[in-house]
Chains A and B, each alone.
Chain A
Amino acid sequence: MGNIPETGRTRKITGRLLVLQVLVLSLLGTLGGRLWYLQIRNGASYEQQASSNHIRTVVVPAVRGEILDANGVPLATNTTKLVVSVSRTSLIGQKDGGVAVLTRLGQVLGMSAQQVEDKVRLCDAKTPAPCWNGSPYQPIPVTQTATTQQAMQIMERQEDFPGVTATPAAVRTYPAPDKANAAQILGYLSPVTQDEINAATDSGGKSSLSPSDQVGRAGLEFQYDKYLRGANGTSNLEVDNLGRVIGTAGGDAAVPGDSVVTSLDARIQAISEQQLQQAMVTLRKTYDPVTHENFKADSGAVVVMNVHTGAIIAMASAPTYDPNIWSGGISAKDYAALNSTSSDYPMLNRAIQGQSAPGSTFKVVSTTGALNAGYGFDSTFPCTSSMTIGGRVFKNFEGENFGAINLSKALEVSCDTVFYNIAYQQWMKDGGTKPKNPKDWLYKTAHQFGLGALTGVDLPGEVKGRVPDRQWHVDYYDAMKDIWCQQAKTETDAYLKAIATEDCADFATLRAGDEVNYAIGQGDTLVTPIQMARIYSALANGGTLYQPELAKAIVSPGGKDVQAVKPVVQGHLPDTPKMINYIDQATANVITSGTAAWKFGGWPQDKIQLHAKTGTAEVVGKQTTSWFDTYTKDYAIVMTISQGGTGSGGSGPAVRNIYNALYGIQADNSIDPGKAIHPPAQNQLPTFHADGTVTSPVDYTVQLPSLASTPQQQAPVLPALDIAALAPERRADGWQA
């Protein structure tokens, strides 16, 4: 304005006021600059801090895929159970930290307040189980087995139970359709460990596993875990400064896991399990004249395989257990029981993890070896009742003298001395104790039959058995000689001392007795039932070794995406078609006139040609292992029972009953095709619908044949065995894990 003030206004004051104005405006300018710096220049970084400030991401668990049988019947599925969960963030907000609510909840659920509190506490290094390993923002399950009434009590009186919810949630169950328990095949789930979470963490620091996840620990649940698990989703919760949830901010939906369609047929699986169990129960009531007590029949296994694909239709292992004990967390008591000696380790799948000497079922390998070594189809060998080699007497199992017979007859009547003879001749030919470029036909053939190696079945923990060839003798001697040589000095038992002394001296060399025992599937040979099923399937299909497979297809939810699992050819038997024919004939004769004939009276061999080989394997200090390996043009069934006597006696009726079910053979041995259970073909899959339901490719109304009507013959008294006449067996480890 510049007007001259009337009083008191000097230029000085005007100047001072300008200074004030400049000061004031520069202060405001400073604020503007700082605001620009925070919001525009560094805005992005603060935005990130803001979202980590108020967003808490919780895991939305993916629904695990199902494991289905070939007809789409679920073997492992998820059922809806009422899960009562507690929200920690809500408890924190309560005046007493939620003590009153947890106490009330305990009363409703029949638990003590302490038990409830333990379940909802967070895990840390010092907290013993039970504790919650997941995100504190996630509702913590207190029980998965609430009754409807308990759930109603909680949900109707929400004012008494703030932060407590009762919601239906998916819990893994094993419904055992037709009582097909298949525990060892299916496996089980248990909570993930921190190491596994770390291992599943990608470079970006995100783990595909979250601490509250369950992962497959055995069987198919383990093998196909990656597919079954799906992908967890996330839910972004908005929280306030006290961690209370005030809203949601989107997230990713969980992707349900894929289902695995197996080649198992729940009906055959059920029958196989039931027959195995029945055979063992029967044996336990049967007197063993060798050991002068009843058979112990402690464990056993059966494999039913499709000979044209290697697909496993049924696989049973005994003893077994109920896999549902794993659902919702196994109790300490149940877990201890599963792993105790008294329960005989029911988690072992003895079809792939049990190994024992194959006994005479091995003779199809020896026969092929002999034919390849140059013996003719009609070459004859004396089937004497015993044979002396190197001053030791090797007895024929049956003790019977059949005179001069060919290989076919030797297979049929399971004449040991014929194979002793061949083995001894081969051993001599290969140079005896001073081998020179040994051909080792018998050992080579075993390897060609896939023994001593994993079959590659799609289950974890398979063992590979053992072919006790020259290399193994060298390796094993190196490992054991100190023990043997020590034993040779200190052993008091004369028999064991003699053997120890002998082994200490020359185990590294393949001795005549070793190869002779080996030729009849004794000695140090070890095989698994799955290996034998693959061999007998190959004999049935003309010589192709297929990889044993349980999975048929992996199907995405709703059936949109189907990954078929194709049969895998792993190799071919070293047999010409003529040789296979030759063996086929001999094994068919086993049913009609050979070692299994006494259990297969009336079998409609003209309609369904059945082939079999029996085996009775010696185990030192135990009763004999029963082996029964069979095949038709469709199926191969191998059954073995530890301490179960002879092959045909122990396992024959059970195997026959499984065939009866597969082919619809009635009690009077007539065939009713309408009652046959045909597992669906390899390319036949159940139909998956968008709503998650599955329909079967076959008519599933077929009644299971009445098992009681099949003849249950009393196992006969077995011929006596001269154990001392057999080679040292102490290293045949019996059932091994």
Chain B
Amino acid sequence: MAGLTSPSWSAPRYKPRRDGMARLLERDSPFRRMDWILVLAALALSGIGSLLVWSATRSRVEINHGDPQYFLVRHLVNLAIGIGLCTGVVLLGHHRLRTAVPFIYGLSILGVLAVLSPLGSTVNGAHSWIVLGGGFSMQPSEFCKISIILICATILSARVDAGEMQRPNTRSILQALGLAAVPIGIVLMMPDLGSTMVMVVIILGLLLASGASTRWLGGLALVGAIGATAVVKLHILKQYQIARFAAFADPTLDPAGVGYNTAQARIAIGSGGLLGKGLFHGTQTTGQFVPEQQTDFVFTVAGEELGFVGGMVIIGLLGVILWRACRIAREATDLYSTVLAAGVVTWFAFQGFENIGMTLGIMPVAGIPLPFVSYGGSSMFAIWIGIGLLQSVKIQRSMAG
């Protein structure tokens, strides 16, 4: 602005291209064209998340190394890195990313394979971590979700965007399913059922948005239903495993395990009432009655300490993000961008619903984090990369338009 209005300079005919700041502030600049409502909602949710993580870990001396702010600081650092990754993705652009998709896919396969190797370690029953040393560890399955979205979006849209056909044909669909099945199979072997579930739902979302034939969608759903029935009927799962799965609805089925988590989560949330007990004043949170409260069960902190109002704010912010993301998907100009955005929408939506739903006792308990809110670097990075992909779609659509 200063450069534009400075009287001592003769106004240049063309704006200097290298003046980054001015470029950013230009009316048509990609910076201005970003979806700022989406970004603000994501930041607000991450901010609330950092408070909840703080509250949940303040008094857990056995994990916070005696520092009440240990997790708060790390959560904020993760957020900052996440925002950095997001910016990187926006600068790179999702179209340019497409050329790197085979590389990204290969890397993610290596990542999940590494978990199965001696490098991996088990946390809370899920063998889904790689310990990097120095107190850092990562969950490759989080990034794997992105690579599945990217590779499926690329394959499903390639021939349609090239104008060869109206919608993805059987061959592309089978190709996409086949490529997605490899990392999903590896993740299932970890075993990380929660991530597997998310990935399967993401694929359904991708197929839905790609315009694939309804028969494909129905067929996949049918196969899933038959598979689930077979698992129960053929006694592939033991009775206790089924009980553990069903314990979310009836905590008495597995009172010492999942049922305990479910019951304690419900007590914590239910006791919050309309306005909650106040941040840091939740008795169940302070008493550490809910296990994994800073990660998978972080929503119980909100329910107890911030009450119905606070819980609705989180759900509402998630709603804003998803609504804006849906808009981005709708307004995308090519199928690749559309499918990509829709994949991110499905990912965020299902992961949010599953996570909050399990704390509320309407979804089975699975170890997946609440986007933006739960503590965890890998998840935070992946989620913000997702935001970067959405923004990239938004900017490039506008640029094209």
Cβ of B161 under 8 Å from chain A: yes
Whole-angstrom distance from the CB of B319 to the nearest CB of chain A? 5
Whole-angstrom distance from the CB of A344 to the nearest CB of chain B? 58
| Given A8-B334, A46-B271, A21:B326 Cβ within 8 A | yes
- Which residues of chain B are within 8 angstroms of A242 by Cβ–Cβ distance? 288
| Given A36-B308, A43-B273, A46-B267, A20:B161 Cβ within 8 A | no
- Which residues of chain A are within 8 angstroms of B319 by Cβ–Cβ distance? 25, 28
Interface stretch of the complex, out of A48-56, A309-317, A360-368, A547-555: A48-56
Q: Are B287 and A238 in contact (CB under 8 A)?
A: yes
Q: Are A35 and B283 in contact (CB under 8 A)?
A: no
Whole-angstrom distance from the CB of A277 to the nearest CB of chain B? 61
Q: Are B284 and A53 in contact (CB under 8 A)?
A: yes
- Which residues of chain B are within 8 angstroms of A240 by Cβ–Cβ distance? 286-289
- Which residues of chain B are within 8 angstroms of A51 by Cβ–Cβ distance? 271, 283
Q: Are B266 and A46 in contact (CB under 8 A)?
A: yes
User: Contacting B208 at CB < 8 Å: which of A16, A53, A54, A246?
Assistant: A16
Q: Are B161 and A39 in contact (CB under 8 A)?
A: no
| Given A17-B326, A17-B329, A25-B319, A31:B273 Cβ within 8 A | no
- Which residues of chain A are within 8 angstroms of B210 by Cβ–Cβ distance? 13
| Given A19-B208, A25-B322, A5:B333 Cβ within 8 A | yes
- Which residues of chain B are within 8 angstroms of A30 by Cβ–Cβ distance? 353, 357, 362
Cβ of B229 under 8 Å from chain A: no
Q: Are A7 and B311 in contact (CB under 8 A)?
A: no
Q: Which of A551-586 contact B (CB under 8 A)?
A: none
| Given A31-B357, A43-B274, A50:B333 Cβ within 8 A | no
- Which residues of chain B are within 8 angstroms of A38 by Cβ–Cβ distance? 266, 269-270, 303, 360-361
Q: Are B286 and A40 in contact (CB under 8 A)?
A: no
Q: Are A50 and B274 in contact (CB under 8 A)?
A: no
**Whole-angstrom CA separation of A600 from B284 in the bound complex:** 82
User: Contacting A21 at CB < 8 Å: which of B307, B312, B323?
Assistant: B323
**Whole-angstrom CA separation of A238 from B288 in the bound complex:** 11
- Which residues of chain B are within 8 angstroms of A239 by Cβ–Cβ distance? 287
Q: Are A27 and B353 in contact (CB under 8 A)?
A: yes
| Given A35-B311, A38-B266, A54-B284, A9:B322 Cβ within 8 A | no
Count of A-B contacts with CB under 8 A?
Answer: 174
**Whole-angstrom CA separation of A22 from B362 in the bound complex:** 19
Cβ of A10 under 8 Å from chain B: yes
Cβ of B154 under 8 Å from chain A: no
- Which residues of chain A are within 8 angstroms of B286 by Cβ–Cβ distance? 238, 240, 246-247
Q: Are B349 and A27 in contact (CB under 8 A)?
A: yes
Whole-angstrom distance from the CB of B278 to the nearest CB of chain A? 14
Binary B-proximity of A616-634 (CB < 8 A = 1, otherwise 0): 0000000000000000000
Whole-angstrom distance from the CB of B174 to the nearest CB of chain A? 20
User: Contacting B270 at CB < 8 Å: which of A32, A45, A55, A247?
Assistant: A45
Chain B residue at smallest Cβ distance from A21: B326
Cβ of A339 under 8 Å from chain B: no
User: Contacting B268 at CB < 8 Å: which of A3, A7, A25, A50?
Assistant: A50
| Given A5-B333, A25-B323, A43:B287 Cβ within 8 A | no
Cβ of A125 under 8 Å from chain B: no
Chain B residue at smallest Cβ distance from A14: B330
**Whole-angstrom CA separation of A23 from B217 in the bound complex:** 15
- Which residues of chain B are within 8 angstroms of A25 by Cβ–Cβ distance? 319, 322-323
Cβ of B101 under 8 Å from chain A: no
Whole-angstrom distance from the CB of A123 to the nearest CB of chain B? 26
Q: Are B333 and A238 in contact (CB under 8 A)?
A: no
Chain B residue at smallest Cβ distance from A35: B311
Chain B residue at smallest Cβ distance from A22: B326
**Whole-angstrom CA separation of A24 from B319 in the bound complex:** 8
Q: Are A43 and B289 in contact (CB under 8 A)?
A: no
Q: Which of B288-308 contact A (CB under 8 A)?
A: 288-289, 303-304, 307-308
Whole-angstrom distance from the CB of B48 to the nearest CB of chain A? 15
Cβ of A1 under 8 Å from chain B: yes
- Which residues of chain B are within 8 angstroms of A50 by Cβ–Cβ distance? 267-268, 270-271, 283-284, 304
Cβ of B141 under 8 Å from chain A: no
- Which residues of chain B are within 8 angstroms of A49 by Cβ–Cβ distance? 267, 270-271
**Whole-angstrom CA separation of A14 from B315 in the bound complex:** 25
Q: Are A40 and B160 in contact (CB under 8 A)?
A: no
Interface centre among A10, A50, A51, A246 (most CB of B within 10 A): A50
Cβ of A668 under 8 Å from chain B: no
**Whole-angstrom CA separation of A1 from B398 in the bound complex:** 13
Q: Which of A211-260 contact B (CB under 8 A)?
A: 238-242, 246-247
Cβ of A34 under 8 Å from chain B: yes
Cβ of A42 under 8 Å from chain B: yes
Q: Which of A260-315 contact B (CB under 8 A)?
A: none
Q: Which of A47-92 contact B (CB under 8 A)?
A: 47, 49-51, 53-55
Q: Which of A323-353 contact B (CB under 8 A)?
A: none
**Whole-angstrom CA separation of A46 from B345 in the bound complex:** 34
Chain A residue at smallest Cβ distance from B271: A50
Q: Are A20 and B287 in contact (CB under 8 A)?
A: no
Q: Which of B315-335 contact A (CB under 8 A)?
A: 315, 318-319, 322-323, 326, 329-331, 333-335
Cβ of A126 under 8 Å from chain B: no
- Which residues of chain A are within 8 angstroms of B209 by Cβ–Cβ distance? 13, 16-17, 20
**Whole-angstrom CA separation of A23 from B352 in the bound complex:** 13
**Whole-angstrom CA separation of A3 from B397 in the bound complex:** 12
- Which residues of chain A are within 8 angstroms of B318 by Cβ–Cβ distance? 28
**Whole-angstrom CA separation of A723 from B269 in the bound complex:** 90
- Which residues of chain A are within 8 angstroms of B361 by Cβ–Cβ distance? 34, 38
- Which residues of chain A are within 8 angstroms of B349 by Cβ–Cβ distance? 23-24, 27-28
Q: Which of A193-218 contact B (CB under 8 A)?
A: none
Whole-angstrom distance from the CB of A53 to the nearest CB of chain B? 6
- Which residues of chain A are within 8 angstroms of B329 by Cβ–Cβ distance? 17, 20
Q: Are A246 and B323 in contact (CB under 8 A)?
A: no
Chain A residue at smallest Cβ distance from B341: A17
| Given A28-B353, A35-B269, A49-B267, A20:B326 Cβ within 8 A | yes
Q: Are A246 and B59 in contact (CB under 8 A)?
A: yes
User: Contacting A16 at CB < 8 Å: which of B211, B284, B315, B331?
Assistant: B211
Q: Are B345 and A20 in contact (CB under 8 A)?
A: yes
Cβ of B367 under 8 Å from chain A: no
User: Contacting A35 at CB < 8 Å: which of B334, B338, B345, B360?
Assistant: B360
Q: Are B315 and A40 in contact (CB under 8 A)?
A: no
Cβ of B23 under 8 Å from chain A: no
- Which residues of chain A are within 8 angstroms of B360 by Cβ–Cβ distance? 31, 34-35, 38
- Which residues of chain B are within 8 angstroms of A241 by Cβ–Cβ distance? 264, 287-289
Q: Are A53 and B323 in contact (CB under 8 A)?
A: no
Cβ of B272 under 8 Å from chain A: yes
Q: Are A35 and B333 in contact (CB under 8 A)?
A: no
Cβ of A475 under 8 Å from chain B: no
Q: Are B288 and A24 in contact (CB under 8 A)?
A: no
- Which residues of chain B are within 8 angstroms of A238 by Cβ–Cβ distance? 283, 286-287
Binary A-proximity of B229-273 (CB < 8 A = 1, otherwise 0): 000000000000000000000000000000000001011111111
Q: Are B271 and A13 in contact (CB under 8 A)?
A: no
Cβ of B163 under 8 Å from chain A: yes
Cβ of A124 under 8 Å from chain B: no
| Given A28-B318, A31-B315, A39:B307 Cβ within 8 A | yes
Give the top 5 A-B pairs by smallest Cβ distance, nearest first: A46-B270, A50-B271, A8-B335, A240-B287, A21-B326
Pairs A–B under 8 Å by Cβ, sample size 6: A7-B163, A24-B326, A27-B350, A28-B353, A31-B353, A38-B269
Residues of B whose CB lies within 8 Å of any CB of A are 59, 157, 160-161, 163, 166-167, 205, 208-211, 264, 266-274, 283-284, 286-289, 303-304, 307-308, 311-312, 315, 318-319, 322-323, 326, 329-331, 333-335, 338, 342, 345-346, 349-350, 352-353, 356-357, 360-362, 400-401
Instruction: Please name 18 further chain A to chain B contacts, defined as beta carbons within 8 Å, in addition to the given A3-B401, A53-B264, A246-B287, sorted by A numbering.
Output: A8-B163, A10-B167, A13-B210, A17-B326, A20-B209, A20-B345, A21-B330, A23-B349, A25-B323, A28-B318, A28-B319, A31-B356, A32-B312, A34-B357, A39-B270, A39-B308, A50-B267, A241-B288
